[in-house]
Chain A
Amino acid sequence: GAVVSQHPSWVICKSGTSVKIECRSLDFQATTMFWYRQFPKQSLMLMATSNEGSKATYEQGVEKDKFLINHASLTLSTLTVTSAHPEDSSFYICSARDAERETGDTQYFGPGTRLTVL
């Protein structure tokens, strides 16, 4: 149980285009999902917290108009990188928290999406 999927697993796009990444909790409901980015050989940096039915909470330094987050249902959150540029190339990972489980503090991570902007 507690499986989180991401789609696509990798995407290559031209500079200036927008890219949408989906994060789904497959066998549980996630009122809260988190979006991270990871540069090569570095740690994960939290970008934003996505709350079902309300606006996302962004970390300091993360542009909310650049990284649009929508959490329209209890099993789906999307991250849209708008007007992508080469510096947005990164590994984007989502996680979901199953608040109903006994181990409600555990976050379950998706497999990640590698974005390359040309």
Chain B
Amino acid sequence: SQQGEEDPQALSIQEGENATMNCSYKTSINNLQWYRQNSGRGLVHLILIRSNEREKHSGRLRVTLDTSKKSSSLLITASRAADTASYFCATAVTGGGNKLTFGTGTQLKVEL
């Protein structure tokens, strides 16, 4: 079963706008990771946030983690057409031996 549920399932915005995606999970985690997947391609690792961290930044990306609510958000600021892709959160469950469980994904479309 899916550990992570993401919303929205699909998001369409204009270039320059910010995009926010949310991920909820069910069990205790060691870390949560966000990945991007372009259509028909492999996954690109974006950012990892550990369970003892609350916020992390990488370029135009900002990730937050609220372990009390078992949720995370990914914010992409000043979006570009090249950001069009599917975004997945993945959780490394405590005691799970580094296995990742992926969320359902958000399809982001950034229009010119």
B99 in contact with A49 (CB, 8 Å): yes
B56 → chain A closest CB, angstroms: 12
B99 in contact with A108 (CB, 8 Å): no
The total of chain B residues at the interface (CB under 8 A) is 23
B43 in contact with A109 (CB, 8 Å): yes
B99 in contact with A111 (CB, 8 Å): no
Compute how far the CA of A66 lies from the CA of B105 in the bound complex, rounded to whole angstroms: 28
Of the residues A42, A46, A106, A111, contact of B41 by C-beta under 8 Å = A111
Nearest A residue to B103, CB-CB: A43
A108 in contact with B45 (CB, 8 Å): yes
The total of chain A residues at the interface (CB under 8 A) is 25
A32 in contact with B98 (CB, 8 Å): yes
Contacts of B104 in A (CB 8 A): 42-43
Secondary structure at the A interface, as helix, strand, loop or mixed, is strand
A43 in contact with B88 (CB, 8 Å): yes
B72 → chain A closest CB, angstroms: 15
Contacts of B43 in A (CB 8 A): 44, 93, 95, 109
Contacts of B92 in A (CB 8 A): 105
Contacts of B45 in A (CB 8 A): 106-109
Q: Give A42-79 interface residues, CB cut-off 8 Å to B.
A: 42-46, 49
Contacts of A4 in B (CB 8 A): 42
A99 → chain B closest CB, angstroms: 9
Known: A42-B104, A111-B42. 18 other contacts (CB 8 A): A32-B98, A43-B88, A43-B102, A43-B105, A44-B102, A46-B100, A49-B99, A91-B40, A93-B42, A95-B100, A105-B48, A106-B48, A107-B45, A107-B98, A108-B45, A109-B44, A112-B40, A114-B40
Query: Which 8 A/B pairs are nearest by Cβ-Cβ distance?
Result: A109-B43, A111-B42, A109-B42, A44-B102, A43-B102, A112-B42, A43-B104, A43-B105
